[in-house]
Amino acid sequence: MAQNLRYEGFRSWRELVERLEAQAEQAEGAERARLLLRAGMLRETRLGEQSEANKAYKEAYRNDKQCYAALRGARRLLRLRGRVDEKLLQLFEIEFKALKKAQRTAEGPVVQAAAAHLDYGWALLIQGSPAKAVAEFKQALYHDPEDPEIQGLVKDFAEETDPGSRVAELRAAAATALAAGQRTKAARLLLRAAAVAVVAGADDSARGDLLHAAALDPDDDTALLYLETRTFREPPSPAQIEKLAREVIDRADDERTRGRLAHALACRLLAQVEDPGAAVPLHEVAFELQPDDERTFEFLLLLYKVRGEKQRVRDLAARAGAAADAVDARAYYLSSGALVLAREMGAPELAGPLAALLAETAPDHPALAELAAAGVVAEKRALPEPEPEPAPPPEAVPAAAPEAAPTPAEPEV
């Protein structure tokens, strides 16, 4: 975040990443892994450099076999591709071997083992191997016998469980959780309902549950990965990915969630196609919904810079600055846009109005001296109206009404 960058003395995320990697070169073992892990996370979430992030995660794990967060980071990047493949499954096997060597008397490895078996079970379920998935859920229950979700998953696929009745129970429990404001719990229950339906051969009824689950929790991509796997039998085109993404976004019930979903789905699209520009429309949707979100701003700034769209860089920085409440955040947006225009895109004249706004916002900001040195004249003048946003593609799916679900008392699941 902008405030954190200022506190740490760095002007950009790339500068911070480069410093972390330089420090990692001088470190060893767990400390080197810690630095590389942080650098990888910043490359993934702030710079959109998924390949470089993956290298950092792998190097972190090589330096510390108990750096499970690095394995999770590598798995997360593979999941962005929208499918479960052998590379993803192999990462689980690597983690299980590491966990067996860890001290089982410590609480951490036991909890981590339960989480790893749970995630592995879902990956197998999405891949279409329900019997193997149930075996992993039982392993997770062995490591964490008190976890209610794992208990429920084992019950979901027990031989004595009637799939139709179980789906109805899970949907009812999801409706109760949602009415109580428990969105994450509701999403997991709908995900389980969809999984039971798919295994029972009722794919059509599962799709609505997967869409709803994906829209409820932008931080968990399990339902989305399941949905992508069920929707695309062959590698999809960018238009197909965007169509599904807009369908998920339209299911969300508030602007903040839709904005977070749009950003997350744009990152998935970026991971699945070779053209970075394909992700611009979804990032622009995210920016329209939450113009004060730093990650969305940074990704769009990078994409516009790569595409040479100078006026869009100017408009982006001006709008983000206007939407920001905190002075630090406003200064960050204005200085970032002005510096990119002046130093990297050769457009000091477009940086001038941004520099003037920056001078008003933070008169002592260090970027002002750099901008002046780059030939920027901080002239206060009205910015032109932003260029009109492109119309959504014809494939965009209209908002779908959520399926009605009964709301009895929450059953045991």
Mean pLDDT of 336-365: 96
Ramachandran bin of 51, using left for φ above 0, alpha for ψ from -120 to 50, beta for the remaining angles: alpha
- Give the predicted TM-score (pTM) of the model: 0.82
| CA-CA-CA-CA torsion sign (359, 364, 370, 374) | positive
pLDDT tens column, 376-392: 988 766 555 555 444 44
Domain boundaries, the chain: 291-378
Tens digit of each residue's pLDDT (9 = 90 or more) over 142-162: 999 999 999 999 999 999 999
Say what the pLDDT of residue 103 is. 58
Is 368's pLDDT higher than 60? Answer: yes
pLDDT at 395: 43
Q: Name which of 71-80, 207-216, 400-409 the model is least confident about.
A: 400-409
Tell me, what's the pLDDT at 305?
94
Q: Which residues contact 353 (CB under 8 A, 6 or more apart)?
A: 314, 318, 379, 380, 381, 382, 383
Q: Which of 4-13, 238-247, 267-276, 391-400 has the lowest mean pLDDT?
A: 391-400
Rounded CA-CA distance 287/294 in Å is 10
d(CA 297, CA 7) in angstroms, rounded, equals 20
Torsion of CA 114, 118, 119, 120, to 10 degrees: 100
217 pLDDT higher than 80 = yes
Give the DSSP letter string of 48-103.
--HHHHHHHHHHHHHH-TT-HHHHHHHHHHHHTTSS--HHHHHHHHHHHHHHHHS-
Given a cut of 50, is residue 393 above it in pLDDT? no
For the stretch 14-34, pLDDT in tens is 889 999 999 999 999 999 999
CB 144 within 8 A of CB 177: no
Alpha helices per DSSP H over 217-254: 222-231, 238-251
For residue 203, what pLDDT is reported?
81
Q: What is the DSSP letter of 383?
A: P
Task: Retrieve residue 101's tokens.
Answer: 């060597």
